[in-house]
Homo-oligomer: A and B are copies of this chain.
């Protein structure tokens, strides 16, 4: 099926400012609460949110096989489960409806009043009910940095790292959309030099700059997904902040991996940008340093050139960009991750989410966590307001952004912005 929605020459009758992440070539999917307190599935062009449930009821999707209530839902899970063919039909149709050449909706004031919303009239929700969330560890720079700091600089990568897209299971219940504040977690830590742990607020709260992809139903229990098919089951991507408490992590993580150090909160950008919209931004991935087993060998361009940045905004101050990285640096790509995840027959469902792992680039200003940027706090970062950060302070807001740009077309993710509040106190 042609991806006509990607046509770079198309413009929309909706206003799109020059540096918008959301031109008519994007057409992401999300879920929002409208001014009428109704939750609906929608898309966005420029700074206009579009109610797909209303568009569907008004007949704009006629001819596409969709159930009546497919967009009148709290989550995108059912729509995603409809599969890639349906996503493409819908995305192409949306592009047609909002094409500058198409007067149909443009000239229907009554319909526009029902369908279109200003961003300040809506509240973005979590776009999917995440059944299972897996986090990978696929940046060689990040794995090397962490191995250097915590284990042995001469053997920073563990022996399995170049063979396995290492991953682990995370907690779905604490994944939140951009805009929801979180509390500094409390937990057990082992102070330096102490033999017994203490309980209290984490003192080393950190972000992790990641991308995450959302899947559709892929396989039955027992059935592996070959790598050539893996991308068929990827609906789209979000920018992902995998909040981490480094001191809790250090004490708890052996031998079964991070737990409370991660599951207090993980934030995602609310608009899922489809893999289809990202097609023009495919690039070659890094060359394997060691041969990879056959099931992980792939053909073609499976990496994506997505510019990423992280900013910290102290309370009442301007933000400071602390990292600029790119998704293309990942050593293991999404197709390899999904294939590896199912090689033992593990079932993947609509609405599952898989994080990339922290995306660190090759230079120190492209590292994806404060742990690496400040090298365990040894090199604090100056903020524009004159303060310094080793890790994240109470009342700081961490903002991550991502976008692709090529031949004058920019496809972006908007942002994931999360404020860290002090420890929770009973109301």
Q: Which residues of A come within 8 Å of B, CB atoms? A: 131-132, 134, 137, 158-160, 163-164, 166-174, 176, 180, 182-183, 185-188, 190, 196-199, 202, 221-224, 245, 248, 251-260, 263-265, 290, 293-295, 340-341, 343-349, 352, 424, 426
Return the chain B residue nearest A166 by Cβ. B256
B222–A424 CB distance below 8 A: yes
Residues of B within 8 A of A176 (CB): 221
Residues of B within 8 A of A221 (CB): 174, 176, 180, 182-183, 265
Return the chain B residue nearest A345 by Cβ. B264
Residues of B within 8 A of A185 (CB): 344-345
Task: Report the minimum CB–CB distance from A5 to chain B (whole Å).
Answer: 31
Tell me whether A132 and B344 are in contact in the complex, defined as CB-CB below 8 angstroms, given that A188-B163, A255-B257, A424-B223 are known contacts.
no
Return the chain B residue nearest A168 by Cβ. B256
Residues of B within 8 A of A295 (CB): 199
Residues of B within 8 A of A197 (CB): 160, 163-164, 293
Residues of B within 8 A of A340 (CB): 260
B173–A264 CB distance below 8 A: no
Q: For the complex, would chain A's binding face be called helix, strand, loop or mixed by DSSP majority? A: loop
Tell me whether A256 and B167 are in contact in the complex, defined as CB-CB below 8 angstroms, given that A176-B221, A222-B424, A346-B173 are known contacts.
yes
B248–A344 CB distance below 8 A: yes
Residues of B within 8 A of A253 (CB): 255-257
Leading 4 A-B pairs by shortest Cβ distance: A257-B257, A185-B344, A169-B169, A168-B256
Rounded to whole angstroms, the CA-CA distance of A102 and B224 in the bound complex is 54
Rounded to whole angstroms, the CA-CA distance of A183 and B222 in the bound complex is 6
Task: Report the minimum CB–CB distance from A250 to chain B (whole Å).
Answer: 10
Residues of B within 8 A of A199 (CB): 293-295
Rounded to whole angstroms, the CA-CA distance of A345 and B263 in the bound complex is 8
Return the chain B residue nearest A291 by Cβ. B196
Rounded to whole angstroms, the CA-CA distance of A426 and B229 in the bound complex is 14
B345–A173 CB distance below 8 A: no
Supply 11 A–B pairs (Cβ within 8 Å), ascending by A: A132-B171, A132-B173, A160-B188, A163-B188, A163-B197, A168-B168, A168-B257, A174-B345, A185-B344, A187-B344, A197-B293
Tell me whether A344 and B245 are in contact in the complex, defined as CB-CB below 8 angstroms, given that A131-B172, A173-B352 are known contacts.
yes
Rounded to whole angstroms, the CA-CA distance of A137 and B258 in the bound complex is 14
Task: Report the minimum CB–CB distance from A387 to chain B (whole Å).
Answer: 25
Return the chain B residue nearest A167 by Cβ. B259
Residues of B within 8 A of A352 (CB): 173
Residues of B within 8 A of A348 (CB): 173
Return the chain B residue nearest A265 by Cβ. B221
B224–A424 CB distance below 8 A: yes
Task: Report the minimum CB–CB distance from A184 to chain B (whole Å).
Answer: 9
Rounded to whole angstroms, the CA-CA distance of A180 and B169 in the bound complex is 23
